[in-house]
Amino acid sequence: MGLQGDASKEWFQRASQVLVNGVSSQFRYWGDDDTLVIERGEGGYLIDVDGRRYLDLQCGFGPIILGHGEPSVVAAVAEAAAEATSFAMTQRREVEAAEKVIAALGWPTRMRFTNTGTEATMHAIRLARGMTGRDVVIKFEGQYHGMHDYVLFSTAGGPPGGLGSRFRPNPWQSSSGIPDAIRSYIRTLPYNDLEIVERTFRNEGGQIAAVIVEPMLGNAFGILPAEGYLEGLRRLCDEYGAMLIFDEVKTGFRLGLGGAVAHFGVTPDIGTYAKALGNGFPVAAVALGEWAAEGWRQGGIAQAGTYSGNGIAASAAKATIEALEDGDAYARIEKTGTRMMEGLAKVLADRGVPGHVVGHPAMFSVFLAEEAPREFRDAARHDAHTYDTVVFKMIEKGVMPCPDAKEPWFLCAAQTVEDADRAVEAFADSLDEVLAGRSA
């Protein structure tokens, strides 16, 4: 018996006849009996084809920041759909949206729109290589930067125990089909360990084009940077002439309007944004400091995209930023998220279950181990079996975080403190059932 009701079962079987494994993205496949089919979203909730309601703590893997079907964003997109899609020319809505993005972020001098986070990080890396004339890129274990070949190494889907020595890590290839030669252009290092980054720069600084980093580990428990870590990356990039790329696809417009740059106070050369930028509509951006902007301005480093900056994406971004500027969305998320984090931590403490609630109120995870994690390798200590069992029970109770603990719980402004209490209660009841099953 799985999570599917009768209608989900029927729709999933239909889906499997046309979509491989019934999904359009491999991360959505939870198994043949557990992959639900959703009818619609409403504020902070999802409703599946059986009519079951779920408190949505996936928020689409991060994009939903205001709430599903946010009226002002829907209205802006509807207007644009009638007048402004793709013109093969710059359009008014695109300019207005870019002005909004640059003003909200505060640090870039220029930007360009793309359509997905994958496209944004691909362009960011090419730009860094084109500007520095170097090929090697440093990324960190447990971080995900999208689906292009250059970054599909040592992502959070990999085995934390199989990464080799931390001083000479193995880049774990997250997919077949990547040419062997690509591996020689990537260095996958443990996160939050500046000494290893420093040593890598000392050894081969002349070949390193860029450091690409999720400022906090948005794909590995929401682990936060240690004090001084991001500043250290900035210093090393400056010292060795490499570009610092912040992949803010998850943190951007989620930790606040200024994203991780404003939150942590460190400025990259290039920033990639997507997800919360469009409240669920497909829009992404590459934001550039002066040095990086010069690369595209002078030409010779390719960047293009048929749909980049299209009217629907641009209007979604503009309307989302306006709603985030005008309302109390971030204050609401902070309040709901803090209540949820504290509630979950208390549930663990009251039952003597070793664990930590890690991250930021807008994106956090439950890590089940004695000691809090500092880097992705610590995932080997997390009690995934207990966590997964608890989360499946929560979903049966109508509260839906991602069943993979490495994927943070995402909140949106449409959710309330009552929702926070509901989530904590579902977690407590589900954990109690698991513990009772063990002692029986």
Residue nearest to ligand PLP (CB): 117
Report if residue 67 touches ligand PLP, rule: CB under 6 A: no
How many CB atoms are located within 10 Å of the residue 314 CB?
Answer: 29
DSSP assignment of 224-267: PPPTTHHHHHHHHHHHHTPEEEEE-TTTTTTSSTTHHHHHHT--
Among 68, 139, 145, 382, binds ligand PLP (CB under 6 A): 145
Q: How far is the CB of 205 from ligand PLP (least distance, A)?
A: 25
Adjacency order of strands within the sheet including 38-42:
38-42, 45-48, 53-56, 399-400
Q: Is 346 labeled as catalytic in the residue annotation?
A: no
User: Cα Rg for the chain, rounded, in angstroms?
Assistant: 21
Q: Give the integer Cα–Cα distance in Å for 121 and 65.
A: 21
**Which residues on neighbouring strands pair with residue 273, listed in sequence order?**
285
Q: Is 179 exposed, middle or buried (0-12, 13-18, 19+ CB in 10 A)?
A: exposed
Report if residue 141 touches ligand PLP, rule: CB under 6 A: no
**69, 43 contact by CB (below 8 A):** yes
Q: How far is the CB of 270 from ligand PLP (least distance, A)?
A: 13
Among 58, 116, 155, 279, binds ligand PLP (CB under 6 A): 116
How remote is the C-alpha of 24 from its chain's centroid? Answer: 18
Q: Is 275 labeled as catalytic in the residue annotation?
A: yes
Q: Which of 9, 100, 275, 318 is catalytic?
A: 275
Q: Which stretch binds ligand PLP (CB under 6 A): 190-198, 243-251, 334-342, 386-394?
A: 243-251
**Which residues on neighbouring strands pair with residue 54, listed in sequence order?**
46
Report if residue 134 touches ligand PLP, rule: CB under 6 A: no
Among 208, 244, 274, 319, binds ligand PLP (CB under 6 A): 274
Q: Which of 247, 269, 378, 419 is catalytic?
A: 247
Q: How far is the CB of 125 from ligand PLP (least distance, A)?
A: 12
Q: Report residue 375 as tokens.
A: 């880097």
Report if residue 225 touches ligand PLP, rule: CB under 6 A: no
**Which residues on neighbouring strands pair with residue 189, listed in sequence order?**
140
Residues 311/312/317/319 CA torsion (nearest 10 deg): 100
Q: Is 9 labeled as catalytic in the residue annotation?
A: no
Quick one: 259 or 289, whose CB is closer to ligand PLP? 259
Report if residue 254 touches ligand PLP, rule: CB under 6 A: no
Quick one: 116 or 315, whose CB is closer to ligand PLP? 116
User: Contact residues for ligand PLP (CB under 6 A)?
Assistant: 61, 116-118, 121, 144-146, 214, 218-219, 247, 249-250, 274
Active site residues: 144, 247, 275
